[in-house]
Structure 1
């Protein structure tokens, strides 16, 4: 009986976990653009395009997958360095730690940049080492919404 209970507990802990985490980020983007053409009395013309860039708030989603003792995290382009080694935004989690209270780890963006994160399993809040926060919710990949 105890062996069966231990087996059931081990299977429950080994079940895959999929999360989607919603975050708000500030990113640089073109906020307005304009074009003009000028001509002089000699028939010469010149054209110019001007783009104004500014910081805007954007909503982005991160995806987290835990399978056994491995995990991966999908980071949207607005939150990762321009040069990164992830495939389609997915990064393998290194130094993975999973407890009843926290899931934490590290991802390597490239040869110079890495990022640490932790997910509070009680509140569902993912926090990066830089202080960025995202609210996570569990996704049941076996069920469809529509």
Structure 2
């Protein structure tokens, strides 16, 4: 009787856990359109001459730009993967498979999709998709997501 009560309690706790509810049965393709920050190296020549003296030099620095980006998320059979925009992929280390990276610590509820993507040795950005508003964040990426078709619908144009 005691073992049956423990099994029933564990089953009830698993049923109430929103991060595991329905994840194994969930099949979802999401496309997020937005923007992310990139660091650009900038170098230019400057003229320093005055009073008839000609002198020039080079100035080098970094600037932060915001560029358009697209992020894709696929959830199948309790696992998820993310197609990372090129500007967010690491310059060093192992590349993702065709730009796709596995999502670790996946937690799916009725209101959100959360996880962590390990991009190389240093970077592990968090993925957060609000299932009510469609808002998404992933590292410096921010955007709005829409559900993508499950199957190819033929040519778009």
Q: TM-score range by the shorter chain?
A: 0.5 to 0.7
Partner Cα separation in structure 2 for residue 116 and residue 77 of structure 1: 17
Aligned to 1:138: 147
- Tell me, yes or no, if the aligned pair for 2:26 and 2:78 is still in contact at 8 Å: no
Offset, 1:30? 7.2
1:19 to 2:30 alignment: yes
Partner Cα separation in structure 2 for residue 28 and residue 110 of structure 1: 18
- Tell me, yes or no, if the aligned pair for 2:40 and 2:62 is still in contact at 8 Å: yes
- Tell me, yes or no, if the aligned pair for 1:71 and 1:96 is still in contact at 8 Å: yes
Partner Cα separation in structure 2 for residue 87 and residue 102 of structure 1: 25
- Tell me, yes or no, if the aligned pair for 1:33 and 1:52 is still in contact at 8 Å: no
Please give the TM-score of this superposition, normalised by the length of structure 1.
0.67
1:127 to 2:137 alignment: yes
Higher mean C-alpha deviation, range 74-83 or range 59-68: 74-83
Q: Which has the higher strand share?
A: 1
| CA shift digits 1:17-55 (9 cap, x unpaired) | 111111212324577989xxxxxxxxxxxxxxx999754
Aligned to 1:80: 89
Aligned with 1:99 (options 88, 92, 109):
109
Partner Cα separation in structure 2 for residue 111 and residue 53 of structure 1: 23
For structure 2, list consecutive stretches of 5 or more residues without a partner in the other structure.
1-20, 46-58
- Tell me, yes or no, if the aligned pair for 2:28 and 2:147 is still in contact at 8 Å: yes
For structure 1, list consecutive stretches of 5 or more residues without a partner in the other structure.
1-9, 35-49
Partner Cα separation in structure 1 for residue 85 and residue 127 of structure 2: 15
